[in-house]
A = this chain, B = another copy of it.
Amino acid sequence: MSTKEMRKHSGVVSGFLKGLANRDRLLILCELAEGEKSVTSLIEATGIAQTSMSQHLSKLKDENMVSFRREHRTLYYFISHDAVRDVMGVLHQHFCKESKT
Contacts and interface: CB of A to CB of B under 8 A. Distances in A.
A88 interface: yes
A60 B20 CA distance: 17
Nearest to A11: B23
Contact of A20 (B17, B34, B83, B96): B17
A3 B17 contact: no
A95 B20 contact: no
15 contacts: A1-B30, A1-B92, A1-B96, A2-B30, A3-B31, A3-B46, A5-B30, A5-B96, A6-B27, A13-B95, A14-B21, A17-B17, A17-B20, A82-B94, A86-B94
Interface of A: 1-3, 5-14, 16-18, 20-23, 26-27, 30-31, 33-34, 45-46, 82-83, 86-96
